[in-house]
Amino acid sequence: MENHVRWGIIGVGDVTEVKSGPAFQQAEGSSLVAVMRRDGAKAADYARRHGVPRWYDDGDALLADPEVDAVYVATPPDSHADYVLRAAAAGKPVYVEKPMARTAAECTAMIEACAAAGVPLHVAYYRRAMPRFARVAELLRDGTIGEPRAVTVRLLKRAETWPEGQAPWRVRPEISGGGLLVDLGSHTLDLLDHLLGPVTSVTGTAANRGRHHAAEDVVTASFRHATGVDGVGLWCFDAGQELDEVEIVGSRGSVAFSTLGEEPLRVRTAAGERLVEAPYPTPVQLPLVQAVVDSLLGRGESPSTGESALRTARVVDTLLAGYRSEAAGASEAAGGAGGVQPPPVDNRVP
C-alpha cells in the first residue's frame, strides 16, 4: 500500500451506487477490487456493473482477501461495530458509513479495537471535506461575518408512512439507533463540530408525535461549542413543510446554508445580501475518500475520524437519552427486549 490503496466494500447497497462506490475508483491512488453483499447475486451484479474484479457473499472472505488493503463498511448501523472489529482483527484500515454506530458505546469499542490493532478508522461524514462547506469555513475565517456568536439549525420534513411492519431501517431504532435525527440530523451536528469546534455541553428533548414508526420525530436542542458559539436546533420529521437551514450569526453578519441541499450560501452583512454558489461534487463522497486515501498513503490527513465521529455520537446520545429510556421501559412493560439501551444522561459532552 505504498503508493496505492486497494479497497473492498462490505455492503453494496444504495449508498454505494453513486454517492460513494465510484469515489474509490476515481480517487488518485485508489481502486475498488472487491465487493461483498450477503445476497451473492446482488454482489455479482454490482461487481459486473461497476467493473469490480471480485465479489463475495461473506464478509470474512473479503477481509481475508490479501489483495484488499482497506475496507469500506456500508451496511446498516447495527452491524457497523461488528464489521469494524472484524476488519481491525484482520489488520485492515477502515472507512465506515455514518452514523458511525448506533450509540457512543459502540463507537468507543470500534475506536479501541482499531487502536489496539494499529489500523486507522475513518468515518463517512463527508461534508467535512466538501468544497461547499470549505467555503463556509473560509467565510468564518476571513471575517466576512465578524466573530461567530450563535448558530441556529432547523430541519423540517413531511412525514412518510409505510404499511405496518415495512418501515425502513432508518426509522427502526434497533437497527439505526434512532430515527432521522441519527440518519440526517447527525450530518449537521458533525459539520458544526468541524466548523465551530466540539460541543462542550448539550441539552434537549425528543418525542414521537406522529407515531408513524417507533423512532423519535421531533427533537430540540440547546448546545455550546468549545469556541463559545451557542446553538439551538429543531428537527421535526412530522412537519407540514420542508426546510433545511443552518444560520451562523456573527458580530457583523451571518451565513445561512442547507446541509443536505445544494442551494447557494446566503451571506448577509451591512452591505446587503449576496448568494455564493456552492454545488456538490460528483460523486459526493469523492473529496473525503481522496482525503482518506491520502491519509493512508502518508500524504495528508482525513478530517473525519473515529474520534470526531464519536463526539457527534455523544451529542446524539444525549439528545435521545430520555426518549430511548421511555421507549425501552414501554417495550419491557409490554414484554419486549427494550431496543437500543440509552447511555447515561450527561449534558457535559467529553
Average pLDDT over residues 314-321: 98
Q: What is the pLDDT of residues 244-256, one digit of tens each?
A: 999 999 999 999 9
| Higher pLDDT, residue 175 or 165 | 175
Predicted local confidence at residue 340, as pLDDT: 55
**Residue 117 sits in the same domain as residue 144:** no
**Residue 15 sits in the same domain as residue 31:** yes
**Residue 264 sits in the same domain as residue 291:** no
- DSSP three-state, residue 106: helix
pTM value is: 0.94
- DSSP three-state, residue 201: strand
CB 179 within 8 A of CB 216: yes
CB 284 within 8 A of CB 230: no
**Residue 82 sits in the same domain as residue 138:** no
Percent of the chain surpassing pLDDT 90: 92
Q: What is the number of structural domains in the chain?
A: 2
**Residue 209 sits in the same domain as residue 95:** no
347 pLDDT more than 80: no
Q: What is the pLDDT of residues 118-136, one digit of tens each?
A: 999 999 999 999 999 999 9
Cell of 338: 427494550
Q: What is the pLDDT of residues 279-301, one digit of tens each?
A: 999 999 999 999 999 999 999 99
Predicted local confidence at residue 155, as pLDDT: 98
**Residue 172 sits in the same domain as residue 234:** yes
Average pLDDT over residues 19-36: 98
Give me the CATH number covering residue 162. 3.30.360.10
Predicted local confidence at residue 334, as pLDDT: 66
Give me the CATH number covering residue 38. 3.40.50.720
**Residue 15 sits in the same domain as residue 152:** no
Confidence class for position 330, pLDDT limits 50, 70, 90: confident
Torsion angle defined by CA atoms of residues 190, 195, 200 and 206, in that order, rounded to the nearest 10 degrees: -40
**Residue 242 sits in the same domain as residue 118:** no
Instruction: Quickly list DSSP for 158-198.
Output: ------TT---GGG-HHHHSSSHIIIIIHHHHHHHHHHH--
Q: What is the pLDDT of residues 47-57, one digit of tens each?
A: 999 999 999 99
18 pLDDT more than 80: yes
Q: What is the pLDDT of residues 208-228, one digit of tens each?
A: 999 999 999 999 999 999 999
In whole angstroms, give the CA distance from residue 16 to residue 75. 10
In whole angstroms, give the CA distance from residue 118 to residue 191. 27
Answer yes or no: is 146 within a domain: yes
Q: Which residue has the cell 451536528?
A: 189
Predicted local confidence at residue 42, as pLDDT: 98
**Residue 291 sits in the same domain as residue 200:** no
The one-character DSSP state at 23 is H
**Residue 39 sits in the same domain as residue 17:** yes
Predicted local confidence at residue 201, as pLDDT: 98
Q: What is the pLDDT of residues 167-212, one digit of tens each?
A: 999 999 999 999 999 999 999 999 999 999 999 999 999 999 999 9
**Residue 183 sits in the same domain as residue 265:** yes
335 torsion bin: left (phi>0), alpha (psi -120 to 50), beta (else): left
Answer yes or no: is 349 within a domain: no
327 pLDDT more than 80: yes
The strands making up 272-276's β-sheet, listed across from edge to edge, are 199-207, 218-225, 230-236, 148-156, 243-250, 253-257, 265-269, 272-276
CA 79, chain centre distance (Å):
15
**Residue 217 sits in the same domain as residue 299:** no
Answer yes or no: is 348 within a domain: no
Instruction: Quickly list DSSP for 294-334.
Output: HHHTTS---S-BHHHHHHHHHHHHHHHHHHHHHHHHHHHHT
Structural domain boundaries, residue 249: 128-281+310-333
CA 17, chain centre distance (Å):
17
Answer yes or no: is 340 within a domain: no
Answer yes or no: is 111 within a domain: yes
Predicted local confidence at residue 23, as pLDDT: 98
Answer yes or no: is 343 within a domain: no
Answer yes or no: is 338 within a domain: no
